[in-house]
Amino acid sequence: MTTTTEPTLTTVEQIFHEGRSARAWSTQPVDDALVRRVYDTVRWGPTLMNTSPLRLLLVRSPEARERLVSHMAEGNRERVRSAPLAVVVAADADFHEHLDALVPHVPGARDRFADEATRARIAREQAWLQAGYLVVGLRSEGLDVGPMSGMDAAGIDADLLGGTAWHSLMVLNLGYPAAEEAAFPRAPRLEFDAAAAVA
Amino acid sequence: MTTTTEPTLTTVEQIFHEGRSARAWSTQPVDDALVRRVYDTVRWGPTLMNTSPLRLLLVRSPEARERLVSHMAEGNRERVRSAPLAVVVAADADFHEHLDALVPHVPGARDRFADEATRARIAREQAWLQAGYLVVGLRSEGLDVGPMSGMDAAGIDADLLGGTAWHSLMVLNLGYPAAEEAAFPRAPRLEFDAAAAVA
């Protein structure tokens, strides 16, 4: 899929070098079908024993959007309100219920995750890992992806994820960049030698 | 870069659909320069306030490799021992020391992370997110990437990451697939409707 303003980013180098977090969006909508297609790709990424705890809530209705906005930090509200689509990225602490289907080659896999605290930790860690796959996948479709963690996660869980064991990790604002968008200057990154060592 | 057996995976769909965790490797080495190039790409991925806590230890010497092997779960030792390169993926709990350089547009950013427990949690979460970027980047170079978490993380931290605030998250076994490799049958994944909801 291409946008009206930018070509699809097909290589990983393009995705990382050209991808940005949007400050302003065009009016082009982001369809559920697009998110579904990206999910169908990135779900194949590896996780610990294929636990695959990533869950997504696509906040589509105006009512749900306003409830989500109310749980965001003050400075994040306007962007969550104005994004063509806001997605709550969550971790399912009951991922083990799917393991008979997900790891049929490991009988009793779900029993290895009987301890609730361990399961909650693994759910969060592996869902963050999958969130990395998801951000890359969404950007590869030409979307601007704005991750946001300044929020009352417990409030989101109670209000929007009630009745599940899903725990919100962050919100992704999705859209296509406005033609007149002037991005903030790019912040620097650590050089390899500051972030890596050889033993 | 291409391997002797497989073309470089250039699109995100190829990376996720064709990428696998290796069971056996060819003798082709994995150079530090390749890991450096991938890092230089994926470091541009977004993190919370550009905290960028991902750290890597490339375990290159035979002595360090054996020490790493000794901290792995029994069933993971042979693969860590035989991989062309093993990399410890870690989170730097002292990431805030770099924030004056990483977020020059937010004066006093490092002071927002004065609380040690909060900082340790954010370091781990954001490093897992970056680990997702890293796995995609490594696979885009045609590498097989085998993530492994069955290990004594505290033992690795004490033995191989001493003198730093780095905390190991997982080990990545890197190499090129052996020509005769017969991968395990691929485990299934959750359908979109099981992993996503619309509000």
- At residue B94, the 3 state secondary structure works out as coil
Which of B67, B68, B89, B78 lies closest to B145, judged by CA?
B89
Instruction: Render B58-84 in DSSP notation, one character per residue.
Output: EE-SHHHHHHHHHHB-GGGHHHHHHSS
Nearest to B172 by CA among B95, B59, B51: B59
Mutate to test the interface with B, among A128, A156, A167 (most CBs of B within 10 A): A128
| One-letter amino acid for residue B76 of the chain | N
Whether B171 is covered by a domain: the verdict is yes
Residue A189 lies in a domain: no
Q: Is B107 exposed, middle or buried (0-12, 13-18, 19+ CB in 10 A)?
A: exposed
Decide if A58 and B196 are in contact by the 8 Å CB cutoff: yes
Which of A53-67, B11-25, B170-184 is most confident?
A53-67
Structure tokens at B121: 């949690």
Q: What is the rounded CA–CA span in Å between residue A57 and residue B198?
A: 6
Arithmetic mean of pLDDT over chain A: 90
Give me the pLDDT at residue A18, please: 79
- The Cα–Cα gap between A34 and A172 comes to 14
Q: How far is B93 from chain A, CA to nearest CA, in Å? A: 12
Chain B residue closest to A191 (CA)?
A: B40
Could you tell me which chain B residue has the CA closest to the CA of A170? B48
- Of A1-10, A64-73, A96-105, B117-126, the poorest mean pLDDT is in A1-10
* Domain count of the fold of chain A: 1
Mean of the pLDDT values across residues A81-93?
A: 97
Q: Whole-prediction pTM value?
A: 0.93
- Residue A7 within a domain: no
Q: Flag whether pLDDT at A1 surpasses 80.
A: no
**What is the pLDDT confidence band of residue B24, given thresholds at 50, 70 and 90?**
confident
Domain-located, residue A90? yes
Q: Which residue has the tokens 């009206």?
A: A4
Residue A33 above 80 pLDDT? Answer: yes
CATH number at residue A39: 3.40.109.10
Distances in Å between the Cα of A89 and the Cα atoms of A53, A127, B178, B180 are: 11, 8, 37, 39
**3 state SS of A119:** helix
Per-residue confidence at A35, pLDDT binned at 50, 70, 90?
very high
Q: What are phi and psi of A56, to 5 degrees?
A: -130, 135
Q: Residue B13: what pLDDT? A: 86
Q: Which carries the bigger pLDDT value, residue A85 or residue A4? A: A85
User: Are the Cβ atoms of B137 and A16 closer than 8 angstroms?
Assistant: yes
Flag whether A195 is in a domain. Answer: no
C-beta of residue B5 within 8 angstroms of C-beta of residue B26: yes
Position A57 scores a pLDDT of 97
Inter-residue contact B161 to B14 (CB < 8 Å): no
pLDDT at B7 over 50: no
Does pLDDT of B108 surpass 50?
yes
Task: Read off the tokens for A142.
Answer: 């030409």
Helix, strand, coil % (nearest 5) of chain B?
Answer: 45, 20, 35
Identify the H or E element spanning B124.
Answer: helix B116-140
Contacts of B55 in chain A (CB under 8 A): 195-197
Residue A58 is predicted with a pLDDT of: 97
Distance from chain centroid for Cα B158: 19
Q: Is residue B12 part of a domain?
A: no
Helix (H) or strand (E) holding A57: strand A54-59
pLDDT digits (tens, 9 = 90+) for B132-159: 999 999 999 989 998 999 999 999 999 9
Chain B CB contacts of A134 below 8 Å: 132
Which of B23-27, B55-59, B81-85, B195-199 shows the lowest per-residue confidence on average (mean pLDDT)?
B23-27
With a cut of 90, say whether residue B114 has pLDDT above it.
yes
Q: Which residues of A touch B146 (CB under 8 A)?
A: 46
Can you tell me the ipTM of this complex? 0.92
Dist. CA B3–CA B154, nearest whole Å: 35
Nearest C-alpha in B relative to A100:
B188
Q: Evaluate whether residue A85 is within a structural domain.
A: yes
Residue labelled with tokens 């390169």:
B85
Structure tokens, B36: 């450096």
How many angstroms from the chain centroid is the CA of residue A71?
17
Measured between beta carbons, the chain A residues lying within 8 angstroms of B133 are 16, 132, 135-136
Whether B45 and A129 lie within 8 Å, measured CB to CB:
no
Distance from CA of A170 to the nearest CA of B (A): 10
User: What integer pLDDT is reported at residue B152 of this predicted model?
Assistant: 98
User: What would the pLDDT profile of B41-78 be if each residue is shown by its tens digit?
Assistant: 999 999 999 999 999 999 999 999 999 999 999 999 99
A100 is in which domain, residue-wise? 20-176
> What's phi and psi for A72, nearest 5 deg?
-85, 155
Strand partners, A197: B57
Q: pLDDT per residue over A119-152, tens digit each?
A: 999 999 999 999 999 999 999 998 999 899 999 9
- Average confidence (pLDDT) over B11-15: 86
Q: What is the pLDDT of residue A17?
A: 82
Whether A14 is covered by a domain: the verdict is no
- Between B21 and B169, the more confident residue is B169
Residue A9 has which token pair?
């980013």
pLDDT band at A65; cut points 50, 70, 90: very high
